[in-house]
A and B are shown apart, each in its own frame.
Chain A
Amino acid sequence: MLDNVWIIPLIMAVSYLLILFFGRRLPKKGAEIGIVAIGASFILACITAVQWIDKVEGAVGKEGGGHSGLAALGHSVVAAATGAPEIEPVVNGFTWWQNNRVEFVVGSRVDGLVVMMLFVVTLISLLVHVYSTAYMHEDRRFTHYYAALSLFSASMLLLVISANLLQLLVGWELVGLCSFMLIGHWWEEKPNSDAALKAFLTTRTGDVGLMCGVIIVFFAANSFDISVINEYALSPEANHGLLQWASIALMFAIMGKSGQFFLHTWLPDAMAGPTPVSALIHAATMVVAGVYLGLRLYPVFWEGFSIHAGGMNMMAIIGGVTILIGAALAFVQNDIKKVLAYSTISQLGYMVMALGVGAWLGAAFHLFTHAFFKACLFLGAGSISHSATHHSFDMREMGGLRKPMPITFWTFLIGTVALAGIFPFAGFWSKDEILATADQGDFQVFMIVGLVGAAMTAAYMTRCVYLTFFGKYRGHHHPHESTPAITVPLVVLAVLSLVAGLIQSAPFEIKKFQEWFEQVGGLPEEMIVPKFDYGLAAISVSLATLAIGFAAFFFFRREERGALKGLTERNKLAHAGYRFLEKKYYLDDLYEGVIVSSVKGPIARASYWFNMHVIDGVVNGVGRGAARLGRWTYDVFDQDLVDGAVNDIGRETAMAGGGMTKLQSGRLQRYALLLLASVGIIGLAVYIVNIA
């Protein structure tokens, strides 16, 4: 399988075509093709992973933990630090076309990162496929939905296995296209098609950066091949200036695709799509594509942004700002999916910041764990809207769903705790990896940002859980538990959210994630392998617990307001306290904040305002300017100049033709006369020429 990994995306592509052409005629409207295809892909991905792990383990056993020859060549101090030898990635390909000594290759590449991504993408996609059979039941375009899901998975898998940047670009664009199709699945409603367009155009803005980055990298390294580029970036003869520009351009691509500040505005709007699609976009495809690019071309960023020097760099700053902005915005949302969307932005900020502070492993690990718990949360939200609120995501219509929906509740709770980073759930381990690297790698500022972000995450997720599952039911329907097609994926994801982090848990001496998946061939040598820091872990967990406790206290006290009332009317001091609390509730009603204080609310509101007006304004302004330029070009250049010239030529031809029709009298003898006359004139001309 290591050599033939291209089969996996091919299966999904074939499935796309089959569903498109034959799906309607099948009893399950094409869902069965999709599920079988993604199931097969998942099995193949698992086989690939097992073979890769075998290869790594075999090499470890053979070398006996010593340094391999490659390590001695300086390719892998990271590997050497863990005592494992470097495993070369398996690259296959054939020449697509050739142009003056430059070869363009299509091929597959299998290394630790690819294996990990294949597993995550196919697993989440499989669960989403299963889940959708219930969630999208009797949808208007059920078959098209499944076709698009297949194509989405195919494009993401193509992107993941690409051995060169051109192929990656193709996958990248296809992913964007599919997300456009799926976000706008219910395009009959204007906001949905607007959201799809916004997602497409915003990510396209970033894609310009990718295009520029790929071109710059090509001229620097003279190749599209990922191994060659990474090797070039780390070699002493690398052109630092070019790499710097390339990293900035590629950073734009990451910002667009992975929803980093200030190109993140499309992500919350993308909630207009069906919920399983949101889960897929946020956990496995689309947004992780940006982070994957960062992981894939890490040496370029490492050198381009001089990450080894410590201190500040663009990548870490953007990631850090995104963590805080995303988390602050999550407080003021009433829509459960928007809370999760801003949470995703914040968590993607974590990954990008991790890349920025040199925590390659942390970023990859967080991508891995985040996929599970975020998919779990999204599918949980979908389960609620499907079975309790009739496709509403407004948390004001939820509440008290703990009793009627026990499975959804428990899985959602596990996802929340994992996201908040509580020991020993998945999020704790990956977050800790990032924070420890930031701390030990001279990036203390970003460690603090990460800690604050973790506390905020815990608080807004507590608010979300409280509003959804506790208190009284505020909707007007009859909530009940969802069908197994929905609950089984939830349970699977919840179990993974619980245990996925343990494969890289330093205190238990388990470093399997690093051992298996950090083998990507040529990471920077100076990268720090963080030691597990009990103090830091304790701080982050206690901060998160504190935030949860505070938020929970706040909300459960609100529930007891009725009991407080009698007291406040009798006691003056209590009355003042009540007024104070009530004022707080007043703010709460305004912003729906958890730790809402006189400072917190306005900040969140201001950043939301900034988000909606300034950033959207700039984006809209650019859009409007572009539209005006386009209109001008259309009027002046296209209509007058080009069309004018074309029309004039046409008109002249028509007129000339009209004149000539008079000659076509249909009279044989007139033709003969013309013939004779022409021959006579030509003869005369030849005669005159000959004489002269």
Chain B
Amino acid sequence: MPINYFLILSAFLFCAGAYGVLARRNSVLVLMSIELMLNAVNLNLVAFSTQVQNVSGQVFALFVITIAAAEVGIGLAIVLLIYRNLRSPDLDRVEQLKG
């Protein structure tokens, strides 16, 4: 299987994630989109790892998954706080830092 297939899929996933991060209003969905982008990167890592026959890429992917789990933990906590303070998960209303 040519590596291009993986890369195209990964690019699609990344773009979908980026779109979600930039366009969605619901903070939970933004968080999920970030996960999509991370997994796109993971797919890339694994694809290149098999391509060059080097296992370190796959190890790296495992690390990313671990970190992503932690990141989701913090992210959900933040989302929860946003919801508690603003009575809505809407990200557009979080603009207290406006200059």
- State the CA gap A672–B30 with chains docked (Å): 11
Instruction: Collect the chain A residues with CB atoms within 8 Å of residue B95's CB.
Output: 665-667
Closest 7 CB pairs of A and B: A664-B99, A666-B98, A666-B95, A661-B99, A666-B97, A673-B22, A669-B22
In the complex formed, the residue of A with least CB distance to B91 is A668
A665 touches B98 (CB 8 A): yes
B80 at the interface (CB under 8 A from A): no
Is A667 a contact of B92 with CB atoms below 8 Å? yes
Instruction: Report yes or no: A666 in contact with B22, Cβ–Cβ below 8 A.
Output: no
Measured in the bound complex, the distance between the Cα atoms of B30 and A669 in whole Å is 9
CA gap between A661 and B97 in the complex, in Å? 11
Chain B residue with the shortest CB-CB distance to A673: B22
* Residue among A660, A663, A664 with most chain B CB within 10 A: A664
Interface class of chain A by DSSP = helix
Chain A 383-423, CB-CB to B under 8 Å as 1, else 0, gives 00000000000000000000000000000000000000000
Given contacts A668-B91, A668-B94, whether A676 and B99 have CB atoms under 8 Å apart is no
Residues of A with C-beta under 8 A to B30? 669
CB distance from B52 to the nearest CB of A (A): 21
Task: Please pick, from A663, A665, A676, the residue contacting B18 in the complex, using a CB distance under 8 A.
Answer: A676
For this complex, 16 residue pairs linking A to B, each with C-beta atoms less than 8 Å apart, are A664-B99, A666-B94, A666-B95, A666-B96, A666-B97, A666-B98, A667-B92, A667-B94, A667-B95, A667-B98, A668-B91, A669-B22, A672-B21, A672-B22, A676-B18, A676-B22
Chain A residues with CB under 8 Å of B22's CB are: 669, 672-673, 676
CA distance A669 to B26 in the complex (A): 11
Interface size counted on chain A using CB atoms at 8 A: 12
| Chain B positions 59-99 with a Cβ under 8 Å from a chain A Cβ | 91-92, 94-99
The interface bits of chain A over 653-675 (1 if a CB of B lies within 8 angstroms of the residue's CB, else 0) are 00000001101111111001100
Interchain CA distance A252-B89 in the complex, whole Å: 84
Residues of B with C-beta under 8 A to A668: 91, 94
Contacts of A663 in B (CB 8 A): 99
CA distance A676 to B15 in the complex (A): 11
Chain A residues within an 8 Å CB radius of B18: 676
Question: What is the bound-complex CA distance between A62 and B42, given in angstroms?
Answer: 103
Beyond the given pairs A666-B98, A668-B94, A669-B22, 8 more chain A to chain B contacts, judged by CB atoms under 8 angstroms and listed by A's residue number, are: A660-B99, A665-B95, A666-B99, A669-B23, A669-B91, A672-B21, A676-B18, A676-B22
Taken together as a complex, chains A and B put the C-alpha atoms of A447 and B68 apart, in Å, by 105
Q: How far is the CB of B26 from chain A (nearest CB, A)?
A: 11
In the bound complex, CA of A673 to CA of B21 (Å):
9
How far apart are A354's CB and chain B's nearest CB, in angstroms?
A: 78
* A665 CB contacts on chain B under 8 angstroms: 95, 98-99
A-chain residues with CB within 8 Å of residue B92 when the two chains form the complex: 667, 669
List residues of chain A with CB within 8 A of the CB of B23: 669
Q: Which residue of A lies closest to B24 (CB)?
A: A669
Chain A 571-584, CB within 8 Å of chain B: the 1/0 string?
Answer: 00000000000000
Question: Complex: how many Å from CA A668 to CA B95?
Answer: 8
Give chain B residues whose Cβ lies under 8 Å from the Cβ of A669: 21-23, 30, 91-92
How distant is B22 from chain A, measured CB to nearest CB, in Å?
A: 5
Q: How far is the CA of A660 from the CA of B22 in the complex (A)?
A: 21
In the bound assembly, the distance between CA atoms of A226 and B53 in angstroms comes to 86
Query: In chain A, what residue has the closest Cβ to B27?
Result: A668
In the assembled complex, the Cα of A505 lies from the Cα of B84 at a distance in Å of 104
- Report the bound CA distance from A676 to B20 in whole Å: 13
Partner of A664, one of B21, B91, B94, B98: B98
Nearest CB on B from A593, distance (A): 83
Q: How far is the CA of A60 from the CA of B23 in the complex (A)?
A: 106
Complex alpha-carbon distance, A55 and B99, angstroms: 81
Residue with the highest number of chain A CB atoms closer than 10 Å, among B92, B94, B99: B99
State how many angstroms separate the Cβ of A672 from the closest Cβ of chain B: 6
In the bound complex, what is the Cα–Cα distance between A574 and B23 (angstroms)?
126
Bound complex: CA A365 to CA B32 (Å): 101
Task: Using CB atoms, name the residue of chain A closest to B97.
Answer: A666
| B98 / chain A contacts, CB cutoff of 8 Å | 664-667
Q: Which residue of A lies closest to B95 (CB)?
A: A666
- The smallest C-beta distance from B94 to any residue of chain A, in angstroms, reads 6
Most chain-A Cβ atoms within 10 A of its Cβ — which of B18, B22, B23, B30? B22
- B18 to chain A: closest residue by CB: A676
- Chain A residues in 8 Å Cβ range of B21: 669, 672
Docked CA distance A664–B97 (Å): 8
How far apart are A680's CB and chain B's nearest CB, in angstroms?
Answer: 10
Cα distance A162–B99 in the bound complex, in angstroms = 62
Q: Once bound together, how far apart are the Cα atoms of A673 and B99, in whole Å?
A: 17
Q: Mark B2-28, 1 if CB is under 8 A from A, else 0.
A: 000000000000000010011100000
Residue among A660, A665, A666, A673 with most chain B CB within 10 A: A666
CB contacts under 8 Å to B, within A431-480, are none
Q: Which residue of A lies closest to B30 (CB)?
A: A669
Shortest B25–chain A CB gap in Å is: 8
Complex interface: chain A residues within 8 A of B94 (CB): 666-668
The residue of chain B having its C-beta at the shortest distance from the C-beta of A660 within the complex is: B99
Interface residues in A628-660 by Cβ distance below 8 A to B read 660
Taking CB atoms, residues of chain A closer than 8 Å to B99 are 660-661, 663-666
Question: Closest CB of chain B to A682's CB: distance in Å?
Answer: 16
